[in-house]
Amino acid sequence: MSLNLNKLVDKAYEDKGISELLDAPPSALEGLTPKHDELLAELKIKTIRDLGKWKYAAKASALVALADGEE
């Protein structure tokens, strides 16, 4: 199965596989810059994998999902 990730990543990363993307810096994501890499590195987030596993991102995502079901 082939996935088109072009809208998720920077143009320089459009031809990369998921494993490569997970090991790429956060600036490989569309909308993030090397300055974001520097700021995230201060939180020990150096790759997209680190960002995706960051416990605070997971908690925020869970709250957003819960809010969608709240009346």
- Tens of pLDDT along the chain (71 residues)? 567 888 899 999 999 999 999 999 999 999 999 999 999 999 999 999 999 999 999 999 999 999 988 76
pLDDT at 1 (0 to 100): 55
Among residues 52, 48, 58, the alpha carbon closest in space to that of 22 is found at 48
Q: What is the three-class DSSP state of 19?
A: helix
29 bridge partner residues: 9
Q: Are the beta carbons of 9 and 32 closer than 8 angstroms?
A: no
Among residues 3, 36, 31, 7, the alpha carbon closest in space to that of 17 is found at 3
Q: Are the beta carbons of 62 and 39 closer than 8 angstroms?
A: no
pTM of the model: 0.84
Per-residue tokens: 65? 């999902």
